[in-house]
Structure 1
């Protein structure tokens, strides 16, 4: 998984602490963690295409959540950034090994591929069970000053 997922997830989380109607520009989000703005913008645009974020141009423009945090799962973010492909790709090397046969779909019959698919499904279920609202609640419980500190940092970076 690329680091872009981390950047996208943290950006979504930070956007939960904005006042209603506020948006944050790419440059501000990038400066928040010292990330390259052009590369972060590509990830933010992927989130817009997935319906996770919305964007607007103009003096009050920028990014904000397009859906309620309860409606955005970690899996939504991963898929928006990484796509739908499974984590493990079976290249059917058994076909080239001893006893390999051209008429067998080893992606379906290979025990290793089956185990990897099962693990991938469990991972996806776990990600789908965690919303940005869940993460937000945990952060706020463990670090109660985070929402205000985030808003203050956004304000300082805009200045």
Structure 2
């Protein structure tokens, strides 16, 4: 039983180390169940560390593919407004125009014009497939690594 404790502990350490290495500093998913799901936020100001929500009408499937890849997750499976909470200011007001092949969301072109409003309930919520998962445990934090 001593070796089981050792190995399970090092597995957890490796996973947290992996997510800190692959976690980008320009996009994040918040309020979800993992690194690979949540309400999309984009860093809009490097110096002040300001994160902004994204309006659903400014974001599409190709944009979602880029975000999931940038986060080190699998392909997008759900793209739906307000799935992980409503819009919180500040709000990013330019539309993303990704081709789907870019390695980072901020590499994509974006529209020149600013939108002034985003309807309530329209913040981008995104779920990407998980690159790894724990199955058969008592909670999502325990189980066999796949």
TM-score (norm 1): 0.21
TM-score (norm 2): 0.23
Greater relative contact order: 1 or 2 (C-alpha under 8 angstroms, separation 6 or more)? Answer: 1
> Is the radius of gyration larger for structure 1 or structure 2?
1
Higher strand proportion = 2
